[in-house]
Amino acid sequence: MITVLRAGPLTTVQDQGRPGWAHLGVPRSGALDAPALRLANRFVGNPDDAAGLETTMLGCALRFERPALVAVTGAVADIDVDSRPVERLRGCQLFEVPAGGVVDVKRATRGVRSYIAVAGGIAVEPVLGSRSTDTLSGLGPARLADGDTLPVGVPTAAPMLVGEPARPGGELVLGIHLGPRDDWFDTKGLFGSPYRISPLSNRVGSRLAGTALTRTRAGELPSEGVVLGAVQVPADGQPIIFLADHPTTGGYPVVGVIDDVAPLAQAQTGTTVRFRELD
């Protein structure tokens, strides 16, 4: 078992999500930075879809009741094991924790979200095939609180020290496929002045602040399906990029879809965002 000593502002259990249920109104959820969690799992010998922990900005502190092999990827943050610092190598911290040891993942100095993988995986009960916490629908385990305990599974394979996580930080240039409602706006505005990440962003969506898009068509739309990476434009004209906990339907026009949302998982408030159009 793992005991949560300091949960942090938003630490959740995440795996690769529960895709395939949108027709029943269930979002996919899962790790916002899916590649970072996959790599952390490989470093400790877990399958790619094993569950780990996703922290937000201020990290968390955990006590391990049994010895464990742990990897942390994603945001750059100092980590202590029993008050001793852990060295960061190849964009990852990989270390052993003794029985009773305390792991303290501190504030992110670059990026937003750290991913903690434990050999054997976090073995909470799955819901619809996933152990992910969905902050929008409430499916899956609750966000962590101080004093919570988490079960750990049995390690099944040797660590695979391959690959290197992307290093978060810097201006983002996001590729976008326009449509299906790009004819409702003057989309030249998307490619003009840069946007910035709004502090109102969360796991549901990344809100952008900048020049409002101009409507070229009046009227309202009935609700229609939306997908991961959809760029929806509400009444204020400021785009919202839907992330892992996005809803399955919406009434505002979707002007395009981002090809890769993982960089947004590590984009701090105020990060500059530019778009480039994809064929």
What the chain holds in terms of domains, given with CATH numbers, is 2-150 (no CATH), 172-277 (2.40.100.10)
User: What span, in angstroms and rounded, lies between the C-alpha atoms of 249 and 252?
Assistant: 9
Q: What is the pLDDT of residue 11?
A: 98
pTM for the full predicted model: 0.95
The first and second tokens of residue 98, run together, are 């003794």
Give the tens place of pLDDT for each residue, 184-238.
999 999 999 999 999 999 999 999 999 999 999 998 999 999 999 999 999 999 9
The first and second tokens of residue 234, run together, are 């509400």
Check if the beta carbon of residue 255 is closer than 8 Å to that of residue 185.
yes
Check if the beta carbon of residue 111 is closer than 8 Å to that of residue 59.
no
Q: What is the pLDDT of residue 167?
A: 61
Measured CA distances, 241 to 58, 111, 205 (Å): 24, 18, 5
The first and second tokens of residue 120, run together, are 């054997």
Label residue 2 exposed, middle or buried (CB < 10 Å: 0-12, 13-18, 19+). Answer: buried
10-residue mean pLDDT profile of the chain (279 residues): values are 97 96 92 95 95 98 97 95 87 91 96 97 97 95 98 89 66 96 95 95 97 93 94 96 94 96 95 95
Q: How far is CA 234 from the centre of its chain?
A: 23
User: What span, in angstroms and rounded, lies between the C-alpha atoms of 52 and 120?
Assistant: 10
The first and second tokens of residue 182, run together, are 């790009």
User: What span, in angstroms and rounded, lies between the C-alpha atoms of 196 and 235?
Assistant: 18
* Angle subtended at Cα 32 by Cα 20 and Cα 96, rounded to the nearest 5 degrees: 115
User: What span, in angstroms and rounded, lies between the C-alpha atoms of 279 and 276?
Assistant: 10
Q: What is the pLDDT of residue 199?
A: 96
User: What span, in angstroms and rounded, lies between the C-alpha atoms of 209 and 66?
Assistant: 46
Q: In terms of Cα–Cα distance, which of 101, 95, 94, 48 is closest to 73?
A: 94
What is the length of the chain? 279
User: What span, in angstroms and rounded, lies between the C-alpha atoms of 88 and 73?
Assistant: 9
Percentage of the chain beyond pLDDT 90 is 87
Q: What is the pLDDT of residue 92?
A: 82
